Amino acid sequence: MLTDTPSLQDTAVATVLLVDDEPNILRALRRVLRQEPYRVLTADDGEQALAVMRESAVDLVVSDSRMPGMDGAELLSRIQQEWPDCRRLMLTGHADMTSTIRAINEGQLYRYIAKPWSDDELRQILRQALAHHQAEREQRRLEALTRAQNRELAALNESLEQRVAARTTELREVADMLDLAYGELKRSYVTATQVFSSLINQRLPRNLQTNAQVSDLVKAFAETHDLDEELKRSLLMAAALYNLGKMTWDDRILNAPSERLFAADRETYKRYPVTGEGLLMALDYLEDTAKIIRHHRERWNGSGYPDHLKDEQIPYGARLLGLAVDFIELQRGMILQRRLPRDDALKLLKKLGGRVYDPQLCEAFVTLCIEQAPDLGLAGQSVMSLDTRRLEPGMILVRDLHSESGMLLLNEGKQLTRGLIDRLMRFEETEDTSYTLWVKLPDGDPE
């Protein structure tokens, strides 16, 4: 048994075993593969080849058909039985067709190579075989990952169903609390999705963890516009889980703005809504949520994906989720190559109303963001958008204030004083402009 030099072994990406009883053939094959990034092992008969297989992880075997003792067909048949994942190729002459056919039937050959071979063709065949081998391994890995995720979701679902059963028993015992307890039970579905969302965030970099802000936007819009309770619950769960389909991506795709992805990476990105829907199919109570996730990348003019729906063919919840997701991801630099300031992101949404977004829904969404700013993470606090003449001493700034030229005037968290307000008003007069500030009352102050 021979191996390549240590320097080649250190950089090898695959292990290839060459089997032939003629030393000159083995030398010729090794010369052909000298420039290839393989770890090359050799054996001069079938028994020695099997010994090599037991000692080393071999990705591909190239065996001569005619060898004394164990011929190539028998060797490849035994390898197929013991190491089915290993690719198997046979070198054969025109007179060896009977042995070749037996090897195809018993050893399940990937391919046979006729003697005399072409060096370029031989190298190409090995590259294709190893590429196919690697692709199958990756497919099995992804399938195993998907099965594991489905098992995890199924386990969470089973736990949730147990909680539902326990709550139902309690409802039967306390009839006068039926309506209240039933509403709490449905809200627990949303709570369960927060668990899923936290699992998703373990995979995503911190700057790409957008679910919380998207959820705040969707919740505020649903409450402001009195959306149906069922739709509201489905939307909140979709906001928590819409990134589920990105879990199998590598970090390179995760960290790249979507508009900068091309070719295969772009296709991978465009599949994530369908992947997310598929992972939720086993959970019956998330059917509407899964539908919203599938269609949240559709566009009003039909240019979206995955189904190229247009206008009101797109589910209402998906239209709203798409607006919220784009608004946050534009500010995080996840769509364009640069991060958009919040106000610029709102202007872009408004500009795209009627093409990318439902025009009426877009107008209502932008108005909500301007007037209430639920995405600023100030849930439970009284936040107001005021011009300088309505400001009062003691109010606290919740967003940095910049001048028209981009200079920072006041930083977030600054408590306003009468002198500071007066100076700001004089600055407006000098610059012939006006400013709107996002402020809140001090903790403990009445609204």
Same domain membership, residue 371 and residue 401: no
User: Poorest-confidence range of 244-253, 336-345, 379-388?
Assistant: 379-388
What's the pLDDT band for 8 if we cut at 50, 70, 90? very low
Same domain membership, residue 195 and residue 111: no
Q: CA 141, CA 416: separation in Å to the nearest integer?
A: 58
Report pLDDT digits (tens) over 66-88. 888 888 888 988 998 899 889 88
Q: Is residue 23 part of a domain?
A: yes
Same domain membership, residue 252 and residue 112: no
User: Poorest-confidence range of 382-386, 387-391, 408-412?
Assistant: 382-386
Residue 419's domain comprises 383-440
Q: Last residue of a domain, which of 323, 353, 376? A: 376
Residue that wins the pLDDT comparison between 436 and 308: 308
Question: What confidence score (pLDDT) does residue 203 get?
Answer: 73
Tokens 């500010």 correspond to: 331
Q: Is residue 266 part of a domain?
A: yes
Same domain membership, residue 314 and residue 266: yes
Q: Is residue 423 part of a domain?
A: yes
Where residue 367 sits, what CATH number does that domain have?
A: 1.10.3210.10
Question: What confidence score (pLDDT) does residue 20 get?
Answer: 92
Same domain membership, residue 258 and residue 237: yes
The residues near 14 (Cβ < 8 Å, ≥ 6 apart) are: 37, 38, 39, 59, 60, 130, 133, 134
Mean pLDDT, residues 46-52 = 93
| Structure-token pair, residue 431 | 């610059």
Q: Is residue 447 part of a domain?
A: no
Number of domains in the chain: 3
Same domain membership, residue 327 and residue 179: yes
Q: Is residue 147 part of a domain?
A: no
Mean pLDDT, residues 377-394 = 77
Backbone angles phi, psi at 204, to 5 degrees: -90, 145
Where residue 430 sits, what CATH number does that domain have?
A: 3.90.105
Mean pLDDT, residues 360-368 = 95
Q: Is residue 187 part of a domain?
A: yes
Mean pLDDT, residues 375-385 = 65
Same domain membership, residue 329 and residue 271: yes
Where residue 54 sits, what CATH number does that domain have?
A: 3.40.50.2300
Same domain membership, residue 230 and residue 123: no
Within 13 Å of residue 94, how many CA atoms lie on the same side as its CB?
Answer: 1
Same domain membership, residue 206 and residue 65: no
Tell me the whole-structure pTM to 2 decimals: 0.50
Own/partner long-range contacts of 45-50 (Cβ < 8 Å, ≥24 apart):
45/19, 45/21, 45/69, 45/70, 46/19, 46/70, 46/71, 46/72, 46/74, 46/75, 46/78, 48/1, 48/19, 49/17, 49/19, 49/75, 49/79, 50/75, 50/78, 50/79
Considering the chain, what is the average pLDDT of its residues? 83
Question: What confidence score (pLDDT) does residue 106 get?
Answer: 53
Same domain membership, residue 108 and residue 50: yes
Backbone angles phi, psi at 193, to 5 degrees: -70, -25
Neighbours of 224 (CB within 10 A): 14
The residues near 95 (Cβ < 8 Å, ≥ 6 apart) are: none
Q: Is residue 275 part of a domain?
A: yes
Angstrom CA distances, 13 to 37, 60, 329, stand at 6, 12, 38
Residue that wins the pLDDT comparison between 154 and 396: 396
Mean pLDDT, residues 117-125 = 88
Orientation angle between helical segments 287-295 and 272-280, nearest 10 degrees:
180
Same domain membership, residue 285 and residue 236: yes
Question: What confidence score (pLDDT) does residue 329 get?
Answer: 93
Q: Is residue 420 part of a domain?
A: yes
Same domain membership, residue 402 and residue 325: no
